[in-house]
Chains A and B, each alone.
Chain A
Amino acid sequence: MKYKRQNNFKSSSNIFGRIWFSMRMFLFNVLSFGPLPAHIAFIMDGNRRYSKKHNSKEDTGHNAGFSSLISTLQYCYELGVKYVTVYAFSIDNFKRKPDEVRSLMNLLKEKIDELLEETSVINKYDIRVNFWGELNLLTEPVRLAAKKAMTVTGKNTGPVLSVCVAYTSTHEILHAVQESCANVNKMLAERYSNECINSAEGLVSVADLEQHLYSGSCPEPDIVVRTSGETRLSNFLLWQTPYCHLQNPGALWPEFSLWHLVWSILQYQRAYSSLQERRMRSKKTY
């Protein structure tokens, strides 16, 4: 299912826009002959290096990164990818210099507000936005903006954008463990039958943990793309990605284009059969 823009291609401002749109649709139709991922996750790495490369201020890289995010989202949703997750800010990033952290918080607030504007991609595709992470660590303006975005888009029925801020996967798992253990306390307090939970295995199951993860309502990613050529997950979606296709194009995040996305999909399609086989087997073990 492709999430076509709510305004059809006639809304393109000029003939070149329409031609470019038609070419994209043709390309996506060709790609759709093979299996398409339902969920792609991006580690948006390389904004600062982009600024250095172009001898400009740090803001240039982050702004270019945001533009890249918007265009990538558009391409994903036109292709029919229902879930996109992006790693915007890690809990580890708070260890950076206070000036840089403050600047990044201001940038986050600014970009969240831009996402909610009338003409943004969020409204065009009826996107539901999630923010995953320890939101209490964010500054108040950012936290309020994130909560507003989730509330305003909560009833949207289109594709889903999940933004990881103040996030690490180990923190997410820990949060799920704490919630699961809090449930154990609750069951004991309600005098739930001790006979049912007389062994550790009965206390917490895989389903309990998964239910309390931030990503509980989304399927596991099919592809994780980390730009800038780095080959590590940096504490991103560790639980969710044991069988997903890991990719690390050399392009910096602001340079990530339609062609990088197309290549990413083609690589996924090539590995699809073995990925599916492993996923099916893993489900049998639980």
Chain B
Amino acid sequence: MAMPSSGCLFFSSSPATLLLRPALPHLSLPTRRPPRPRQQISLHRRATRQGNPPGTNPAAASSQSSPATHETLTDELKWEEALPSCLLRESLPRHVAIIMDGNSRWARDKGLPVSAGHEAGYRSLKEIIRLSCLWGIRALTVFAFSSENWFRPKAEVDFLMTLFQGVLKENFDIFVREGIKVRIIGDSAKLPKPLQKLAKEIQDVTVNKTRFELIVAVSYSGRQDIVLACQKIAQKVKDRLLEPDEITESLFAQELETNHSRDFPYPDLLIRTSGELRLSNFLLWQSAYSELYFTKSNWPDFGEADYIEALQSFQRRQRRFGQRIS
């Protein structure tokens, strides 16, 4: 497993160590500390230590997501204290998307049933959500189940549906308490009725939460997302509410399933685990300018060290959006 750069507070663990690490019982954000005066000097010191004058990091300057306007002083201090020193807060991606691939391969490599792989994958997801909240990343989209996954063996699909239901139930109160807005995107009509009901309930209850957004793609297809958006627009055209030449990219984007997030609509960084080099029909429109990061680790092995490495890779990139940076 790759090691993060020297000077970082956290060091990588071998897969064996990750397995021995006790599973977290539930998500928890760090406890709030009494607020203290904002230390602008420490930010400047960190930025100049890294060699960049403050406010000029290219990755931060060109982040697709709009700056959060509702970060509290307490949140900023907490993120700054918790962030590994090898990462710069001002150049972190605001929105990270992850294709959580490799659960079955992980289980097969260890001689375990596929269900064990998915359960290990869930533990990885909990840890990444915890770290994302801790470090001030504002939105996380995860590809949990694609429209093509329905062709997997029925036993595996049934297990996954049960797992999703269990995960939502287990973490329901935590999402509410910690201010996490949960959104489920995908063709929910194909999901079992109890899961549909639970998904709707959790989305309704957390709709006004603002601390962190968790978007879970279940039975999702990027192409279907585009086609459904097109159909909604075609309906408006049919109802004479819109002319074809009035359709713009922003109008179209509002009809996509990711339209609920105004501050962080598109991922800045898209991570895919397990070494596969493709997008697999995930967020096709939305990932037009996302930085892609591919890692050979299977999803259950993707831990803090891998996440730090992915974020460091993002920080090193120069995002140009078709323009020149002299």
Binding site for B on A (CB under 8 A): 48, 90-93, 95-97, 100, 168-171, 173-174, 176-182, 184-185, 188, 197, 200-201, 203-206, 209, 230-235, 238-239, 241-247, 271, 274-275, 278, 281-282, 284-286
Residues of A within 8 A of B233 (CB): 177, 181
Assembly CA distance A91 to B322 (angstroms)? 8
Assembly CA distance A96 to B326 (angstroms)? 11
The size class of the interface chain B forms with chain A is 35 or more
Residues of A within 8 A of B290 (CB): 232
Q: Are B227 and A204 in contact (CB under 8 A)?
A: yes
Interface residues of B in 254-290 (CB under 8 A from A): 276-282, 284-285, 287-290
Contact with A along B214-248 (1 / 0, CB 8 A): 00000001111011011111110110001011011
Residues of B within 8 A of A95 (CB): 322-323
Say which residue of B227, B287, B288 sits within 8 Å of A206 (CB atoms): B227
Q: Are A180 and B148 in contact (CB under 8 A)?
A: no
Q: Does B324 contact A (CB under 8 A)?
A: yes
B191 → A minimal CB distance (Å): 15
- Given contacts A181-B247, A247-B277, A96 and B324 within 8 Å (CB-CB): yes
Q: Are B292 and A206 in contact (CB under 8 A)?
A: no
B270 → A minimal CB distance (Å): 9
Residues of A within 8 A of B147 (CB): 285
Residue pairs across A and B with Cβ atoms less than 8 A apart, 26 shown, are A96-B322, A97-B324, A180-B230, A181-B237, A181-B244, A188-B238, A204-B234, A206-B223, A231-B294, A231-B317, A232-B289, A232-B292, A233-B288, A234-B289, A234-B321, A238-B285, A238-B287, A242-B278, A242-B281, A246-B278, A274-B276, A278-B148, A281-B148, A281-B151, A285-B147, A286-B223
Q: Does B293 contact A (CB under 8 A)?
A: yes
Assembly CA distance A206 to B247 (angstroms)? 18
Q: Are A245 and B277 in contact (CB under 8 A)?
A: yes
Residues of B within 8 A of A243 (CB): 278, 280-281
Residues of A within 8 A of B235 (CB): 200, 203
Residues of A within 8 A of B323 (CB): 92-93, 95-96
Q: Are A282 and B284 in contact (CB under 8 A)?
A: no
Residues of A within 8 A of B150 (CB): 285
Assembly CA distance A244 to B276 (angstroms)? 10
- Given contacts A243-B278, A245-B278, A282-B281, A200 and B231 within 8 Å (CB-CB): yes
Q: Are A182 and B244 in contact (CB under 8 A)?
A: yes
Contact with A along B285-319 (1 / 0, CB 8 A): 10111111110000000000000000000000101
Assembly CA distance A164 to B231 (angstroms)? 27
- Given contacts A180-B230, A204-B234, A231-B293, A242 and B151 within 8 Å (CB-CB): no
Assembly CA distance A176 to B233 (angstroms)? 12
B37 → A minimal CB distance (Å): 39
Residues of A within 8 A of B234 (CB): 180-181, 184, 200, 203-204
Residues of A within 8 A of B289 (CB): 232, 234-235
Chain A interface, >50% SS class: helix
A194 → B minimal CB distance (Å): 9
Q: Does B249 contact A (CB under 8 A)?
A: yes
Pairs of residues from A and B, 7 with the lowest C-beta to C-beta distance, nearest first = A92-B322, A242-B281, A203-B234, A200-B231, A235-B288, A181-B244, A281-B148
Say which residue of A171, A232, A239, A286 sits within 8 Å of B226 (CB atoms): A239
Assembly CA distance A91 to B249 (angstroms)? 13
Assembly CA distance A185 to B246 (angstroms)? 13
Q: Does B252 contact A (CB under 8 A)?
A: yes
Residues of B within 8 A of A176 (CB): 230
Assembly CA distance A286 to B291 (angstroms)? 29
Residues of B within 8 A of A185 (CB): 237, 244
Assembly CA distance A197 to B285 (angstroms)? 26
B119 → A minimal CB distance (Å): 24
Closest B residue, CB atoms, query A202: B231
Interface centre among B235, B237, B242, B248, by most chain A C-beta atoms within 10 angstroms, is: B237
- Given contacts A96-B324, A177-B247, A246 and B230 within 8 Å (CB-CB): no
A93 → B minimal CB distance (Å): 5
Closest A residue, CB atoms, query B293: A231
Assembly CA distance A238 to B238 (angstroms)? 27
Closest A residue, CB atoms, query B187: A285
Residues of A within 8 A of B227 (CB): 204-206, 209
Residues of B within 8 A of A173 (CB): 226, 252, 285
Q: Are B288 and A238 in contact (CB under 8 A)?
A: yes
Interface centre among B221, B249, B322, by most chain A C-beta atoms within 10 angstroms, is: B322
Assembly CA distance A184 to B240 (angstroms)? 11
Assembly CA distance A200 to B294 (angstroms)? 37
- Given contacts A174-B252, A181-B244, A244 and B278 within 8 Å (CB-CB): yes
Closest B residue, CB atoms, query A231: B292
Assembly CA distance A62 to B317 (angstroms)? 23
Assembly CA distance A235 to B238 (angstroms)? 29
